[in-house]
Structure 1
Amino acid sequence: MLSSTSVRITAAFVAIAILCLFAADLAITTINPWQDLAALFLGMVTPDFFSLEHIGTALLRTLAFAFTGVALGSVSGFLLALVFRFRAVRMFCAFIRAIHELFWALIFLQFFGFHPLTGVLAIAIPYAGIFAKVYSEILDETDPTPERVLSRKVDVLSSFLYARIPDALPHLITYTSYRLECGLRSSAVLGFVGLPTLGYYLESSFSQGYYSEVGALLLLFYVLIATLRLWARPRLIPLYVIAAPFFLGDGLPIVWGNVVRFFTQDIVPSPLRDGEGLSGLWHWLSDLAVNQAMPGIWNTLVLTQIALVLTGLVTLMAFPLISRHFGGPTRRGLGHVVLVIARSTPEYVIAYILLQLWGPSMLPAIVALALHNGGIIGHLIGRRSNEITLRPDAPKGIERYGYELLPRLYSPFLAFLFYRWEIIMRETAILGILGIYTLGFFVDSAIQNIQFDKAMVLILVTAFLNIGVDAISRRVRARLKLKVSMTCEGH
C-alpha cells in the first residue's frame, strides 16, 4: 500500500500542475504541424549520411569537448569532495552547478569568443559542482571498518588511499561513466550557441528543412550513446582523455583585454558605471525585477511544475516497457530502444525540433522535458522492477501493475522524480533561449542587446531559484524518507 504522506504530496503536486495549466501558453501556432512532423519522421527513416560535410569533425569535436570537460570536472570535483564538509565549499558547489552549461557557455563567449576553452569550461564548471556533491556522498557511504582496523601510526593520506578508496572506487567509476553520457549530451547542445559540435550542424540542417540530414545526425548520436559501454571501457578512458584536447580545434585567439573589460566594466551595473549612485542602481534593479526577472521566474515555475508532473506520468507508462514482468524479450528490446532514444536526446534538441513543428509556446518545452526525464526515470524504475520477485500466482496485466509492482516501486519513483525536479528547473530556464518566456529568454535578450550587466543579474536569479528548488526537493525527500542511489543520480 502507498503511504498516506506519499499520496497527499502527489495529490498536491498534481493539483498545482493543473492550476499551472490555466496560466500556461500551450497553443500550437504553425499552419500544418502534422505535415511537418510527417516530413521529420520521413527524414528519420530515410537518413542521408553522404550529404553531411564535416560530420566526422563534428563527432570528434563532440567527443573531445565531452571528454575534456568531464575529465576536468571530475578531477576538480574530487578535490572539492575532500573538503565538502565545509559550508563555504558546499555553497560554492551548489552555486556553480545551479547554472546550466549553456549559460556558462554564453558567459564565456563574451570574452573568450569561439575558443575551445569556452566549451570545455562550460561543461567542466557545473560538472565540478555535481561531482563534488556526489563523490562526497559516495565517500561518506563507504564501509568504515577498514579504517578502524588500521594501526594508529598510519597517516591520514595512506588511510584514505588504502582503506576508503578501494571500497568507493567501483561507485566512483560507475557514476563518472553516467556523467560521461551526460557530458556527450551537453557537448552536443553547445553547438546551438555556435561551437562546432553536433548541435551546430543539427540546427543548420533543420533550419534549411534538410530532414534526412537531421535524421542522420540524430541516428549517429543515438549510436554514439547506445554503444558507449563498448568503446568507452575503463582501460581506454585515459587514452581518450589524453587525446581529446588535440581534437578541440583552434578557434579564434583569446583577446585578454576583452576578459579584463568584461569583469571590470561590462558586468558592472550601468548606473554604477555612469555615476548615478545607489538611487540609480535601485531604479535599475526595480525595473529589471518587474519587467524581466519576475515574469521569467513565474513562467519558469509554471513550466517546471507542469513538466514535473507530466514526467511522472511518462515514467509510470514507460517503465513497463523494459520490465521482465510484462511481455517477452522482443517487446523489452523494443522498449529499451524507445527509452534509449528518449533519454539520449537532450531536452534542448527535442524542444528545438518541436518548436519548429508547433511554434513558440510552452508546449514544446513541456513535452521535451517530460519525454527526456521520463525516459531516464522510466529506465531506472524498470531496472528496479526487474529486481522484484513475484509469487507464482501473482495476477497478470493491469492488476499486476497496480497491486503488485506500483506500491513497491512508488517510493523510488518519487525519489528519482523529486531529485530530477531541480534538473528540470535548470533545463526550463535555459529553454528560454529558444524563445519561450522563461528566465533564459530574458538572459539571451540581454546578451543580444549587449547588456551583460542585466544578463549576469538574471543568471544569478536563475542560480538562486534552482538552489531554492533543490532545497525544497531535499526536504520533501527527507519527509518521505526517500533515498536516491548515488550511482544513479546523475543519469
Structure 2
Amino acid sequence: MLPAVLKLPASSPSSARRITGIMALLVLLALLALPWADLAIYPVDPWAELARIGQGIILPYWNSPWVLLESLAQTVAFALLAVALAAPLGMLLAMVFHWTAVRLLCAAVRSVHELFWGLLFMQVYGLSATTGLLAILVPYTGVFAKVFAETIDLQDRDAYRSLPRVNRLIGWAYTRIPQTLPALLSYTRYRFECALRSSAILGFIGLPTLGFHLETAFKQGQYAEAGALLWAFLMLLASIRLWLRPALLPLYLIAAVWLLPETIGFTNSNYFWQFVSQDIWPTALRQGDWAATLDWYWRMFSHQAWPGLVQTLLLTQLALVLTLLVILLVYPFASRALVNQPLYGLGRFALLVMRSTPEMILAFVLLLLFGPSGLPAVIALAIHNGGLIAFLVANNSNSEQAIHGRRPDDPAGLLRYTYVETPRQLPSMLAWLLYRWEVMLRESAIMGILGITTLGFFIDSAFEEIRYDRAFFLILITAGLNIIVDACSRRLRQLALVQPGQANQGRH
C-alpha cells in the first residue's frame, strides 16, 4: 500500500515557467550525456532470446515447489525483520533529526545501496542472516528517520507545546506521533514492499533469497523456471494487502526468525575490528606515509573512481529523462479520466508489473538481449521508476476525478490528456521524478555488479580481488555523489515551488 496521493497547490504562471525550465534543463543534460555514455548494442540475436524469455514467462514451470516456497519465505523474512527493526530506530533518530550530526549520519547510511552494504558485511559475517538483515536495516533506518521527521514536521505543534515539561519521548508519544500515525503506518507498509525488492536482489551476492535462484535460472537459460520465480514474486507483492495483517505480525516475526538461513562460510568475532581498523585503509595510511597515501588516493580516483563516477552520472541522467517519457506514455492507461474500464484494468496490471520488478532483475534480463553496455541499465531504470511514478500520478488523477467529477465541457481522449490531465499532474510528476533522482543514481551504481562500467563495477572487482581498501574508498565516493545529487534535487524542487516533505511517498 502506498501513502496518500500528493497534493500540490495550483501552479501560477511563474511556477509553470520554472517547471518547464527545469524539465528543459534535464532534457538538455541528457542530450549532452549521449555522446559519452556507453550505450553500445553488441552483436547478439535479441529477438530469438526474447522469444525464449517470453515463452518462459507465459509458460512458467518449477519442478521443486519447496525450494521456491523456501526462497520466497526467506525473502519475506529478511524484509520483515529489517523493517521491524529499522522503523522504530528511524523514529528514535527522527526525534533528534534537527541535530546536524544525525542528519549527516542518516544521509550517509541511506546513500549507500543495500547491495554495497551486503558486500561490506559479508566480509565480516559471511553469507549469514546477519549480513542480509544489516544490509537492509542500516540504509532503511536512515530513510525512515528522514521521512518520519519530515512527515511529523508538517503537523501542528500546538498540542506538543501545550504539554508541561516532560521527557521528549513521552511528549512525542502522546502528541506528535498519534497525529501522524496513519501516514507513518502507510509509509512503513510501502517501505516493506521496497524491502521485499531489496531482499530479493540480495540473492545476486549469494544470499538464498529469490534473486539467487533467479540469477541461476537466467544464466543457465532456464527461462520457464525464471518465469515461475518472477510470477511468484509478483503475486507476493500484489497480495500484500491480503496477508499483511497487523494481528498476524507477531506470528510472522516469530516465523521470520525461524526461517532465516544458516551461516555459510567462516565467521570470526575478532575479524570485525581487524576489518574496520586495518583492511579498509590503504597500507601507506596505516604506516603513516602521507605522501604515498595521497598518491594512492589520487591514482584510485583518476583510474577507477572518476571513470565510474562519470558513467554513473551519465546513465542516471539518461534514465531520468527516459523515465519522464515512460510516465507520460503509460500513466493515461491507469487513469479513469482518460481510458475505459478494459484498458484501465490492463494499465493497472502493467504498472504493477513495472513497479514490482526490481531494476537489477530487469537489467539482468536486458543484458542478455543487448550485451554488457549501459543501455540495459538505462532501460531498466526507466521501466521500474516510470511504472512507480506513473502509478502515483494515475492515483492522483483518479482521486481528483472522484472528488471534482467531470465538467460537461471537458474534452475527451487525446485532447483531455494533452490540455487537462497532463498539465494538471505535471507539478506532482516532476516532484516525484526529482525525489527518485537520488535512488536512480544508487541503482545506476550497483548495475556495475552485472558488468556495466559504473562505480559498482569497480567496487565489485575490488571485493573479488580482496582489496577492501579500494572497495571502501569507492563506496565513500558513491555516498558523496548521492548526497550531492540529493542536494541538487532538493534545490530544483524549491525552484519549482514544490514544498519539501509533500512528496515523500515517491521517494526510494
AA at the equivalent of 1:162: Y
SS of structure 2 residue aligned to 1:23: coil
Shift of 1:144: 2.7
Cα displacement string for residues 349-381 of structure 1 (whole angstroms, at most 9, x for unaligned residues): 100111122110011000000000000000000
Match of 1:341?
Answer: 353
Amino acid at match of 1:33: P
In structure 2, the CA distance between the partners of 1:419 and 1:486, relative to structure 1 (3 Å rule), is closer
Identify the residue that residue 443 of structure 1 maps to in structure 2.
Answer: 459
User: Which consecutive residues of structure 1, in runs of 5 or more, have no partner in the other structure?
Assistant: none
CA RMSD of aligned residues (A): 1.6
Whether the aligned pair in 2 keeps the contact of 1:138 and 1:486 (CA below 8 Å) is no
Indicate whether 1:224 and 2:236 are aligned.
yes
Give 1:157 shift: 4.4
Q: Taking structure 1 as the reference length, what is the TM-score of the superposition?
A: 0.96
* 2:3 corresponding residue in structure 1: none
Matched, 1:174 2:186: yes
Question: Conserved in 1, the CA contact under 8 Å of 2:434 and 2:493?
Answer: yes
8 A contact 2:432–2:507 mirrored in 1: no
Alignment-derived partner of residue 310 in structure 1: 322
- The Cα of 1:26 is off from its aligned counterpart by 1.6
User: 1:262 Cα shift?
Assistant: 1.2
Answer with 6-15 or 214-223: which moved more: 6-15
Asked if 2 retains the 8 angstrom alpha-carbon contact of 1:365 and 1:428, the reply is: yes
For residue 445 of structure 2, the aligned residue among 407, 424, 429 is 429
Change over 3 Å in CA distance of 1:435–1:151 after alignment to 2: closer
Q: CA deviation at 1:137?
A: 1.2
Q: Which residue of 2 aligns with 1:66?
A: 79
Deviation at 1:285, TM superposition (A): 1.0
Superposition TM-score, scaled by structure 2 size: 0.93
CA distance in 1, matches of 2:80, 2:428: 31
Q: Is the 8 A contact 1:23 1:302 kept in 2?
A: yes
Find the counterpart in structure 1 of residue 150 from structure 2. 137
8 A contact 2:392–2:506 mirrored in 1: no
Equivalent pair of 1:174/1:487 in contact (CA under 8 Å): no
Which range is displaced more, 363-372 or 283-292?
Answer: 283-292
Match of 2:117 among 73, 82, 104: 104
Between 321-330 and 450-459, the greater mean CA deviation after superposition: 321-330
Name the CA shift for 1:30/1:51 in 2 (closer, same or farther; >3 Å): farther
One-letter amino acid of the structure 1 residue matched with residue 455 of structure 2: L
Partner of 2:302: 290
Question: How far did 1:257 drift?
Answer: 2.8
Q: CA deviation at 1:40?
A: 0.2
SS in 2 for 1:393: coil
In the alignment, is the contact (CA less than 8 A) between 1:101 and 1:123 conserved in 2? yes
Deviation at 1:240, TM superposition (A): 1.7
CA contact (8 A) 2:71 2:208 kept: yes
Letter in 1 for 2:272: V
CA positional deviation for 1:283: 1.3
- Corresponding letter in the other structure for 2:502: S
Write out aligned runs for 1:267-286 (5 A): 267-273=280-286, 275=287, 277-286=289-298
Partner residue, 2:51: 38
Find the residue that maps to 2:295 and give its secondary structure.
Answer: helix
Query: What is the letter of the counterpart of residue 429 of structure 2?
Result: F
Which sits farther off after the overlay, 208-217 or 381-390? 381-390
Distance 2:169 2:204 in 1: 44
Say how many residue pairs are matched.
489
Give how far 1:239 is off: 2.7
**SS of match in other structure, 1:456:** helix
5+ unaligned residues in a row in structure 2: which ranges? 1-12
Code of the aligned partner of 2:299: D
| Residue 355 in structure 1 maps to residue 364 in structure 2 | no
CA contact (8 A) 2:204 2:212 kept: yes
Aligned match of 2:221 in 209, 213, 235? 209
- 2:260 corresponds in structure 1 to 248
Q: For the Cα contact (< 8 Å) 1:358–1:364, is it kept in 2?
A: yes
| TM superposition shift of 1:31 | 2.2
